[in-house]
Structure 1
Amino acid sequence: MVKGKGAGTRKKIRNTMIIIGLIGTIALIIWIKTDPNAKEKLGNILFGFTVMAIFGALIWRKSKKGLIKSTKQRQADFDYDDDYGNDGIDDHDD
């Protein structure tokens, strides 16, 4: 049976992520054992990442629902042209 080209790449990425995770875990354990203030610093770092993740998720969710328009959508709204040749700009002299 012949494997697809993507199978080898996914396996390499998975193995790389496992190695990075193991190295990170070992480094974290060494840091906590050697630095007396490591737990407090780690708590501050995790709190900051949590706040950023929550705001990022909210922004991503709003953009998925269409509440935040892309640049192309805003430009399309600005440049619309209706069936009568009106381009959305009020040219009347009042």
Structure 2
Amino acid sequence: MKKIEVIDLLDHLSRIYLGRFKPDERTLDAWYFHLASEKKDEIFNNLKAYVAINKFPPVVSDLLSNQSNLRYFDFDKNFSSGGLDNESKD
């Protein structure tokens, strides 16, 4: 992942887990260190599965493990327009 993609991820987490996840610069650096070699779509795919069953924010290892049976999550398609598509899970 690029650093800007990790920023998007942390921003997204702060919006899902209101009041429970407030990243700062050091948090960004730590997450980026662990996610730099990962693919953005895979991390967001794992996040989508994670938030469906967890009321607490994830730690890095929660997003590195493949918890989902979803085959593909296209971040740009779902979030770059500012809205969510209501696509069915494959």
Query: Which TM bucket (shorter chain)?
Result: under 0.3
Q: Considering Cα pairs closer than 8 Å and 6+ residues apart, tell me whether 1 or 2 has the greater RCO.
A: 2
TM-score by length of 1: 0.24
Larger radius of gyration: 1
Q: TM-score, with normalisation over the residues of structure 2?
A: 0.25
From the two aligned structures, give the one with the greater helix fraction.
1
